[in-house]
Amino acid sequence: MSLPTTTYKNALIELRNQILTYSGLSNNFVLNGDSLYGPDVWKMITEMIGESPEVNDTFIIFEFKELSNDSFGISVDDENISALAPYGLFIKIYGEHCHEAAYKLASIFRVPQVVERVRKAGIKIMTSSQIGSLNEFINGIRWPRCDIEIDVLCNFNVTIDNYSGDPYAESIALPINILKD
């Protein structure tokens, strides 16, 4: 059975929905970090006062990033081009109860119903890492943290204007003449 197509945005939304559904956390505690780390990324502004989570709060910062591996591939069918692209969902769970939340999330991405649900959304779960844990010191406070990585393949449609299907690699490979004064 082939993998349905999706978009980057839809894949990100689907994976975040799975984290929200199975973590049991509020929407405010599941953040798309995109290269931001630690509890200081979450600032709820209330009358110009910044509020951060407490150590006894559990919150998740995730990143959805391209991976470098051999799984990348393209296929061409008449005028349609599809790209099977590898991504990593990096999940960082903070707070005193991060271990319980980490085992819950690591488990759900292995449950057949969840695997099938995300596959129908155009995402194939390839691997799920072991849980890593550490203590992160931020502003003099010890934050327990657990990390999980879930590697996936996403099937994207690629649109190219004026796609002719003709090979063009020969013209790209021609040597370039360098002009000297």
Average pLDDT over all residues of the chain: 80
Rounded to 5°, angle at Cα 139 from 30 and 24: 20
Percent of the chain with pLDDT over 70: 72
At 66 the pLDDT is 87
- Residue 35 pLDDT class (50, 70, 90 cuts): very low
* pLDDT for 14 beyond 70: yes
**pLDDT surpasses 50 at 48:** no
Strand blocks (E) in the chain: 30-32, 44-46, 49-51, 59-66, 73-77, 80-94, 123-128, 132-138, 141-158
The pLDDT score that the predictor gives to residue 97 is 92
Between these two residues, 2 and 147, which has the higher pLDDT value?
147
- The token pair at 30 is 């599941």
pTM of the model as a whole: 0.76
> What mean pLDDT is predicted for residues 91-96?
94
Rounded distance, CA 7 to CA 13, Å?
10
